[in-house]
Amino acid sequence: MKKALLVLEDGLIFEGESFGAEGEIFGEVVFNTSMVGYQEILTDPSYKGQIVVMTYPLIGNYGVNVEDVESAKPQVEGFVIRELSPVVSSYRGQKSLDDYLKENNIPGIQGIDTRKLTTHLRDHGVKRGVISSVDLDPKSLLKKVIASPEMTGRDLVKEVTVKKSYSFDETLDPEFKWPTLEQQARKPFNIVCVDSGIKRNILRKLNQHGFKVNVVPATMTAEEILSQKPDGVFLSNGPGDPAACTYLVETTRKLVGQVPMFGICLGHQILGLALGGKTFKLKFGHRGGNHPVMDLKTNKVEITAQNHGFCVDLESLKNKDVVLTHINLNDKTCEGMEHKKHPVFSVQYHPESSPGPHDSDYLFDRFYKMIAQHQGKI
């Protein structure tokens, strides 16, 4: 394989082998601690603008298939791994990871010490970086990295949001199977899903829990959303700095109190800003399928799937009729909140579990029951 370099903005250099597409790509270098699910990670729009490092050492062993994608194409800028599997050993694998990245023009680098890289990012914070197989001069690459855009202040939502509204209803598929008889018996609620970079499995989960979904662009106004007379509004995950999405914050502010709302990940952060709070950037973020979160209502601990680099500052929401509902047990940051007066709640993590554990699936049921209660049906 061809030689490649990974260079961070603080001057740390890794030499490895190129895989996927050849070329040169810049992004914020972050790490993900999931042991499986690299295809879902690659295609998660929340990774727009980022170079993802996998901490699990062997990647690519089960290949890639068309069923497990979370969007139409890979969204990461680049991919960093310890070792690329030379074989695809799963019966579901339709092509190799190497071929998949080549087809989608995503550069990767393998053969580097990902443990050293991860501990460096953990200790010093995430860094801008470059993967290059064309320019192999470290000094030249370092200058380019330093000149590349920062993640803070960047609105990446407009780059990944849907251009036109569309309906999503997996229950119309003849092969669809309801998870439970109780969910099958539910009267469906019509919700508007504001797409800031939504993953497909979130839409599937919403269908399974009794929702008919109309997906709309993140730039749609509150008036346009309310004109659809939705039973509820869902605010999706997405990439970049939530504070840069001023249009989405303003739309959300106008929707609060008008209709039941549920937000996850970026949607949670947008709600925090809309309710008068602030957000801040985490040192190295939360990314992986093994993050412990406590539900403060039940004191139960959920193992959660997460992918975010910004966080809601709960102190900034004091005296704003907002209460903390979930807390991260690793660093005690805000993982969930709800409004004291209006039917509005949100979580920072990913209850759709793709990839990841299923501990938080109940949140979709909670959204359904909240709408039913708001309409006086329970």
- Find tokens 């004109």 and name the residue: 227
H/E/C letters for each residue in 113-146? CHHHHHHHHHHHCCEEEEEECCCCCHHHHHHHHH
Instruction: Choose, from 120, 291, 308, 350, the residue flagged as catalytic.
Output: 350
Cis peptide before 138, with omega less than 30 degrees from 0? no
A 10 A CB-CB count for 36 gives: 14
Instruction: Choose, from 193, 245, 265, 311, the residue flagged as catalytic.
Output: 265
Report the alpha-carbon distance of residue 91 to residue 240 in Å, rounded: 36
Closest to 98 (Cα-Cα) out of 3, 19, 6: 19
Report the alpha-carbon distance of residue 273 to residue 276 in Å, rounded: 5
Assess whether 350 carries a catalytic annotation: yes
Asked if 21 and 4 count as a contact pair (C-beta separation under 8 A), the reply is no
Angle formed by the axes of helices 200-208 and 362-374, nearest 10°: 60
A 10 A CB-CB count for 366 gives: 15
Residue at 225: amino acid letter? I
Assess whether 352 carries a catalytic annotation: yes
Phi–psi pair at 365, nearest 5 degrees: -65, -40
Instruction: Choose, from 9, 70, 302, 352, the residue flagged as catalytic.
Output: 352
For CA atoms 133, 138, 142, 143, give the dihedral sign: negative
Q: Which residues are catalytic?
A: 265, 350, 352
